[in-house]
């Protein structure tokens, strides 16, 4: 069970030095995206509280536009494009949720979007991006470099590259999840002991940590990763970015990256209390619990925070915890196989 060292109080200058978005920038992003994004509810289940021995609140980003938190960062980024950049279009690369988010926002703002997606991405995500009017270019994640392909397309067309996490506007947009979580908890008279958020490249948890640590310095923020893709956990231990092996596999398709983001890692190293890892079986159990007790469809990558709570990955007895359910875009057949194994 994870035991974290005492947290250090942070100044506004410290946030700036590590490249974390300021609370003013996060508040501005929340106002900017408000006409488009949903302020998702903070839910609670007495049954899950009883299972865990804690009070667990769930930030239901499965109910967000495009089905995940990714809509926030995509919206914040595309709304700040110039008229010329909007006319040239955007290029994004994604295993799915960023693709859905970018294509949804691009449709809303009448911007042409080209999305690079791995050929083994869930069909619901590939088809969803196409339904939104995006041009989808599939690639082999084992043999092709998505960033090189994206750079080639952008060079030929003049389109703006919108990465999934290593972008300050994206990180700031995702930080609105943390802002809303703390605000909703406070409105209910609740002080949060910890917040858990999924991690792939680290944009969500870095943004959440930036907001939470600014508004509630004593609250601990943890990343949660698949056991086979725990690059942040290993990087925090070593103090430098570590890579995942190329043959790593997980059912969490949304949380598969080679290494931590260049912009997000310094933020996460400074602000997080730690990173927890969960197995695929623990994730499947969490998906079933979310469906049974919250009546929500949560994709594997979106369920890792709940999986960590249910598996007792850290000491939460008697504490109040917020868990981000980060996405709900899962193929029907896959979800049915989890719910009825």
Q: What are 128-170's pLDDT values in tens digits?
A: 999 999 999 999 988 888 888 889 999 999 999 999 999 999 9
216 SS3 class: coil
End-to-end CA distance of the chain: 29
Q: Report the pLDDT averaged over residues 282-297.
A: 98
In this prediction, residue 4 carries a pLDDT of 55
Using pLDDT thresholds of 50, 70 and 90, give the confidence band for residue 6: low
The rounded mean pLDDT for the chain is 94
Among 177, 164, 251, smallest CA distance to 210 is for 177
d(CA 299, CA 330): 5
**pLDDT tens digits for range 189-242:** 999 999 999 999 999 999 999 999 999 999 999 999 999 999 999 999 999 999
In this prediction, residue 95 carries a pLDDT of 78
Take residue 22 and report the two structure tokens written for it.
């300021």
**What is the reported pTM?**
0.95
- The owner of tokens 């279009």 is 89
In this prediction, residue 74 carries a pLDDT of 98
d(CA 244, CA 255): 12
Please give the backbone phi and psi of residue 66, each rounded to the nearest 5 degrees, phi first: 65, 10
Is the torsion defined by CA of 147, 164, 216, 309 positive or negative? Answer: negative
The pLDDT > 70 percentage for the chain reads 98
d(CA 133, CA 104): 8
């Amino acid at each position: 069970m994870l035991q974290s060292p005492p947290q250090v109080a942070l100044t506004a200058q410290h946030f700036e030095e590590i490249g974390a978005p300021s609370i003013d920038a996060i508040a501005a992003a929340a106002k900017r995206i408000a006409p488009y994004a949903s302020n998702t509810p903070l839910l609670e289940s007495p049954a899950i509280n009883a299972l865990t021995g804690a009070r667990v609140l769930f930030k239901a980003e499965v109910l967000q536009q495009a089905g995940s938190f990714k809509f926030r960062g995509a919206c914040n980024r595309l709304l700040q494009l110039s008229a010329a950049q909007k006319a040239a279009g955007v290029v994004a690369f994604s295993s799915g949720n960023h693709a859905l988010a970018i294509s949804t926002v691009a449709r809303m703002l009448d911007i042409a979007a080209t999305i690079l997606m791995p050929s083994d991405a869930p069909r619901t995500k590939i088809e969803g991006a196409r339904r939104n009017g995006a041009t989808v270019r599939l690639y082999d994640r084992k043999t092709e470099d998505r960033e090189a392909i994206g750079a080639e397309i952008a060079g030929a067309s003049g389109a703006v590259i919108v990465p999934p996490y290593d972008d300050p506007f994206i990180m700031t947009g995702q930080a609105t999840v943390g802002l809303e979580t703390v605000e909703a908890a406070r409105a209910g008279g609740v002080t949060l002991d910890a917040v858990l958020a999924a991690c792939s490249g680290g944009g969500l948890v870095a943004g959440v940590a930036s907001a939470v640590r600014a508004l509630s310095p004593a609250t601990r923020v943890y990343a949660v990763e698949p056991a086979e893709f725990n690059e942040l956990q290993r990087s925090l231990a070593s103090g430098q970015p570590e890579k995942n092996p190329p043959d790593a596999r997980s059912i969490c398709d949304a949380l598969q990256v080679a290494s931590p983001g260049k912009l997000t890692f310094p933020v996460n190293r400074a602000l997080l209390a730690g990173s927890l890892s969960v197995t695929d079986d623990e994730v499947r159990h969490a998906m079933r619990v979310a469906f049974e007790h919250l009546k929500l469809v949560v994709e594997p990558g979106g369920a890792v925070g709940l999986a960590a709570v249910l598996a007792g990955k850290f000491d939460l007895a008697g504490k109040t915890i917020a868990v981000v359910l980060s996405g709900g875009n899962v193929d029907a057949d896959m979800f049915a196989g989890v719910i009825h194994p």
